[in-house]
Amino acid sequence: TEDEKANIAERYLVPKQLKANGLKPEELKIGESAIRDIVRYYTRESGVRNLEREIAKICRKVVKEIALAGPKPVKKKVATITVTSKNLEKYQGVRRFDYGRAEAQNEIGLVTGLAWTEVGGDLLQIEVSLVPGKGGLTLTGQLGDVMKESASAAMSVVRSRAESLGIDTDFLQKQDVHLHVPDGATPKDGPSAGIAMATALVSTLTKNPVRANVAMTGEITLRGRVSAIGGLKEKLLAAIRGGITTVIIPEENRKDLADIPENVTKGMKIVPVRWIDEVLDLALERPPTPAGSGTGDKLPARGSGKAVRQPDVKH
């Protein structure tokens, strides 16, 4: 985690590189804020090898800075050079990497998913828009075969539930659906964006905005069940780093929360769910309302026991 890397750097890497470059602790201090920014913006790795290299780079530049300043009187105290997040670019240059952040406001058809990569987790934006057409589904963003199948499954779930979700059952007769996952140059694959895709589709078709502070991860079945995913720890780290306050995860992954440090989940609401109905209730500004019903009508109870199954076998 980011906390673990910062702790390793403060206790081991910084003292090691100070000694290796002939610096005394009173000559250079690298603040915690600077170390965290190095982890976020200058390295992208699962370990700390590149983090140590970046710290060594700072030490070398400070040595040069001291040498160019010339010798100081013996009795005069050497001024301490302090590196913080504010002056880090002076020693590291412009930021090399960035990370996903929560949207500034609720948007229609824009959902924040969570992705796992070899170097950690990241936020994954999923966009859906409608264009005039005859029912086609266009997928863009360099999606792999598994992710394309997940999008098709999400579309089938939405179509089978169109009436209960308040969607015109003939919506595909005159419109095409375009689903895009930004960062088009980056290949993406895996089934864990299924519920995010389904939510983006429902949001677009019902013109119901998605809450910007909510992120989600979970595979979806044709019955609308939310299935387990991998890389939960990395995904939660990406969520808290990006300013997400509520994360929706599969109920089957509840057991994995025991292995995640409390400081990772502190200040974040994690909601395990079993069915897509629960996801929509949490993520959308307004609960879905069946077509033709009054404002007082409600969908069957969800979230426990058999009550949740009734709408999920209706195809």
List the structure tokens of 143: 């999606």
Statement to judge: residues 122 and 19 lie in one domain: no
Whether the per-residue pLDDT at 73 is higher than 70: the answer is no
Total domains present in the chain: 2
pLDDT (average), residues 171-192: 84
Give the three-state DSSP class for 127: strand
pLDDT (average), residues 16-28: 87
pLDDT (average), residues 102-128: 87
Strand pairing report for 110-117 and 120-132: antiparallel
Q: Model confidence at 293, in pLDDT bands (50, 70, 90)? A: low
**Which residues, other chains included, contact 103 with Cβ-Cβ below 8 Å and sequence gap of 6+?**
110, 112, 212
Whether the per-residue pLDDT at 117 is higher than 80: the answer is no
What pTM was estimated for this model as a whole? 0.76
100 found inside a domain: no
pLDDT at residue 93, as a whole number: 87
74 found inside a domain: yes
More confident residue, 314 or 100: 100
Q: Model confidence at 100, in pLDDT bands (50, 70, 90)? A: confident
Report the percent of the chain where pLDDT is more than 70: 88
- Using CA atoms, how far apart are residues 200 and 211, in angstroms rounded to an integer? 11
Q: Which of 99-103, 237-241, 269-273 has the lowest mean pLDDT?
A: 99-103
Statement to judge: residues 205 and 249 lie in one domain: yes
Q: Model confidence at 185, in pLDDT bands (50, 70, 90)? A: low
Statement to judge: residues 27 and 74 lie in one domain: yes
24 found inside a domain: yes
160 is catalytic: no
Statement to judge: residues 119 and 193 lie in one domain: yes
pLDDT at residue 292, as a whole number: 62
Other beta carbons within 10 angstroms of residue 165's beta carbon come to 24
**Structural domain span for residue 20:** 2-92
pLDDT (average), residues 102-106: 85
pLDDT (average), residues 62-72: 79
Burial class (CB in 10 A: 0-12, 13-18, 19+), 157: buried
Statement to judge: residues 47 and 168 lie in one domain: no
156 is catalytic: no
Statement to judge: residues 173 and 29 lie in one domain: no
Statement to judge: residues 128 and 76 lie in one domain: no
Last residue of a domain, one of 27, 57, 92: 92
Statement to judge: residues 206 and 132 lie in one domain: yes
Last residue of a domain, one of 60, 92, 124: 92
pLDDT (average), residues 82-94: 88
pLDDT at residue 125, as a whole number: 92
121 found inside a domain: yes
Using alpha carbons, select from 269, 165, 137 the residue that is nearest to residue 215. Answer: 269
Whether the per-residue pLDDT at 210 is higher than 60: the answer is yes
Residues 179, 180, 186, 190: is their CA dihedral positive or negative? negative
65 found inside a domain: yes
Statement to judge: residues 279 and 217 lie in one domain: yes
Catalytic residue among 150, 192, 203, 233: 192
pLDDT at residue 68, as a whole number: 81
103 found inside a domain: no
CATH number for the domain that contains residue 222: 3.30.230.10
Statement to judge: residues 135 and 164 lie in one domain: yes
pLDDT (average), residues 55-76: 78
Statement to judge: residues 241 and 175 lie in one domain: yes
pLDDT at residue 110, as a whole number: 95
- The full DSSP string for 63-101 is HHHHHHH----TTSPPPPEEE-TTTHHHHH-S-------
Q: Model confidence at 96, in pLDDT bands (50, 70, 90)? A: confident
Statement to judge: residues 156 and 302 lie in one domain: yes
165 found inside a domain: yes
101 found inside a domain: no
pLDDT in tens, 37-57: 888 888 877 788 889 899 999
- Using CA atoms, how far apart are residues 42 and 95, in angstroms rounded to an integer? 6
Report the percent of the chain where pLDDT is more than 90: 35
